[in-house]
Amino acid sequence: MDISLSKIKGIGPARLKAFEAAGIHTVRELVMFLPREYRDLTRTVPLCELKPGDTAAVRVKVAGEVHERRARRLLITKLYVTDGTETLPVLWYNQPWLKKQMAPGRELLLYGKAEHKQGYVTLVSPAIESAEGLIPVYRNIAGIPPKALKSSVEAALKICEGQWPDELPESLRRRYGLCERNFAMRNAHFPLNREALEAARRRIAFEELLLYQIALRLFRSTGREGVRIDFDDAELEAFWSRLPFEPTNAQRRVLMEVAADLRSRKAMARMVQGDVGSGKTAIAFAAIALAHAGGWQSALMAPTEVLARQHYEAAQRILEPLGMKVGLLVGSLTPKQHRLAHEAIASGEWDVAIGTHALITEGVEYHRLGLVVTDEQHRFGVRQRTSLSEKGDAPNVLVMSATPIPRTLSLILYGDLDISIVNELPPGRTPVATRIVPEARREDMYDFLRREVAKGRQVYFVCPLVEESEAVEALPAEAVYEDLRTNKLPELRIELVHGRMKAADKDAALERFRTGEADVLVSTTVIEVGVNVPNATVMVIENAERFGLAQLHQLRGRVGRGTEESWCFLMAEPNTRLRFLRSTTDGFRIAEKDMELRGPGELFGTRQSGTLTAGIGALAGDTELLKLTHDEAKALMASPDDADARAVIALAQERFADKLRDVAVN
């Protein structure tokens, strides 16, 4: 099974290169490239029952002639289809060959998403299917057409047929009702039915999640000694007493956990996880103060320059009065400023170095690094996080994340970290009132915005796109900016920010908004992280239906940061998801619901370890399976001399040793 992909018919040098670029080198690895989803063609939906947002299979006939038109660089093919219950339009983009194939009366099995366009329910770019059943859909690989990818996987499966050894102990398979490995591999790609698919995915996910967690435990058990930081107990209370606010019980509890880690001989590897505004930064600053009291230097790394500068300004206010010298190291500094910053870090002149990834570049040497803090952990790859920790002699590592991750997922995603959860908001934080605003109420909302700005408040507008796209029906940031500036709110000062702008221009626009020189900031989701403007009281999210619940919650967290009443307007037609968001501000409940609806998604993306491709692909949000494998891994590691435990531990070492070497922080 570890033979080259070049042995498969149809994989020539160009496709071989494309597979290798995607990390697939052997027949075994191709078979382990599991579908990201399945098209359910086992049942069709009548056209009269289709609603915007539905993704479904329909069996129809072509009704009438095919029409083509050009719009910018797109060729739009449009025709009408019918099934006797309704007649609806269908659109395809840049597929000129369709016109010759779509003769009136031709029967079609289509699978796609229904959208609302120009007053009609419309099928947009549906796939034309040739057979019923559960059809695999794979993640795109650049340079390999989907049909070629599917046929390559099928050929690889035939080569591997019957050759997958069942390496999990039989007693363990029986205990959890896991199907045989060869059956699992075949049905994970081309299932006989839904029951076979579920059994296959469960078997593959169980095995990979179990082995991954055991491997993480093996790495934790061999953690090296780290920097031990001594300080008086009085330092804890002294830090809180100097702050202009009373800490919450959750902040006190988490800081006690951090303090115990700092005093331990084992290097701290802890994540502080909490909702936007729960006070994680205060905990990080407290840890830095404790490190300083013990005679050690600290570094704090943020994913963006804007966020790094905000931390720097906050640290100057809070830490410098305690006798600490705080410095900033970011990419936009001049060569002279870079040189002086490097000297200040190396000599120990700076007690705290705050910056972006510039903190981990070659040439940055630390004087006596005892604590490393990274903010917005999900924005960094594990490699970036560990690169900073390697700058010292096993310093303590504290990572912070405002992305609420369900507790069960934390066991897997951050298995190399202890988890502390800040589950309490400080008093004085004003809950954000969330409203769903259909298009018919847009003008009323603009009137409300004018009144808020007249009170001296500021407004965010967030859009899913930068510029207009024929293929996606959504309001782009550039168009919203122009419309507000010239038509809707011309009397207001409006700024535009998006990811394609030069970093300096983007930071300048954000800074003008932050300092109150602009009333309205129109942006894409670049403001999801790192903008703290207490005076901003309104968040408008265009095409809110296009965002995940967790992301909407993150965006909503940009307002309500002061004492004034704040609002989040979701521009969309009401639906179940958005009503749920309106009903709660609990980030963990929202994250659980988001995963239930959409699967784990980016929670297990390449920004993390990149090692859980098969298990997570098969997981589909099964938190019960996460708990089962977590408990089984714990039980096996508790009896390492048991025959089953020895077999599974050896398998985990073989499967994940190389990959996890990049992940471990201690």
3-state SS of 444-485 is HHHHHHHHHHHCCCEEEEECCECCCCCCCCCCEHHHHHHHHH
CB atoms within 10 A of CB 140: 12
How does residue 564 score in pLDDT terms, banded at 50, 70 and 90? confident
Give the pLDDT confidence of 509-519 residue by residue, as tens digits.
Answer: 988 998 999 99
pLDDT at 607: 33
Decide: residue 49, CB within 10 A, 0-12 exposed, 13-18 middle, 19+ buried.
exposed
Specify the domain boundaries for CATH 2.40.50.140 within the chain. Answer: 43-129
DSSP 186-221: HHHHS-SSHHHHHHHHHHHHHHHHHHHHHHHHHHHH
Distances (CA, A) of 663 to 136, 179, 194, 259: 31, 30, 35, 24
Task: Return the structure tokens found at 164.
Answer: 């997958």
CATH of 43-129, one of 3.40.50.1100, 2.20.25.90, 2.40.50.140, 3.40.430.10: 2.40.50.140
Cα 562 to Cα 550: distance, rounded to the nearest angstrom = 22
CB atoms within 10 A of CB 247: 20
CATH of domain 234-263+279-401: 3.40.50.300
Decide: residue 446, CB within 10 A, 0-12 exposed, 13-18 middle, 19+ buried.
middle
How does residue 604 score in pLDDT terms, banded at 50, 70 and 90? very low
SS3 434: strand
Distances (CA, A) of 522 to 62, 498, 510, 512: 43, 8, 10, 13
Residue 469, pLDDT above cutoff 60: no
Specify the domain boundaries for CATH 3.40.50.300 within the chain. Answer: 234-263+279-401, 432-584
Distances (CA, A) of 508 to 43, 301, 458, 485: 53, 21, 17, 19
The closest of 12, 556, 587 to 274, measured between CA atoms, is: 587
pLDDT at 660: 52
Give the pLDDT confidence of 472-521 residue by residue, as tens digits.
Answer: 445 688 889 999 999 999 999 999 998 788 878 888 898 899 899 999 99
The answer to whether 215 and 209 have CB atoms below 8 angstroms apart is: no
52 Cβ contact partners less than 8 Å away, ≥ 6 residues apart: 114, 115, 116, 121, 573
Residue 466, pLDDT above cutoff 80: no
The closest of 172, 39, 171, 178 to 110, measured between CA atoms, is: 39
Give the pLDDT confidence of 281-330 residue by residue, as tens digits.
Answer: 999 999 999 999 999 999 999 887 878 888 999 999 999 999 999 999 99
526 Cβ contact partners less than 8 Å away, ≥ 6 residues apart: 497, 498, 499, 506
Question: What is the third-level CATH fold of 1-39+140-163?
Answer: DNA polymerase; domain 1 (1.10.150)
Angle between helices 643-661 and 194-221 (to 10 degrees): 80
Q: Which of 215-224, 256-265, 464-473, 500-509 has the lowest mean pLDDT?
A: 464-473
DSSP 402-420: -S---HHHHHHHTTTSEEE
Write the single-letter amino acid at 477.
A
Task: Return the structure tokens found at 496.
Answer: 């535009």
- The residue ranges of DSSP E strands in 150-296, in sequence order, are 269-274
Q: How many CA atoms lie within 13 A of 526 on its CB side?
A: 22
Cα 272 to Cα 418: distance, rounded to the nearest angstrom = 9
Write the single-letter amino acid at 503.
A
Residue 383, pLDDT above cutoff 70: no
Cα 121 to Cα 47: distance, rounded to the nearest angstrom = 9
The closest of 306, 226, 270 to 501, measured between CA atoms, is: 306
Cα 400 to Cα 278: distance, rounded to the nearest angstrom = 11
**CATH superfamily ID and name for 432-584:** P-loop containing nucleotide triphosphate hydrolases (3.40.50.300)
SS3 380: coil
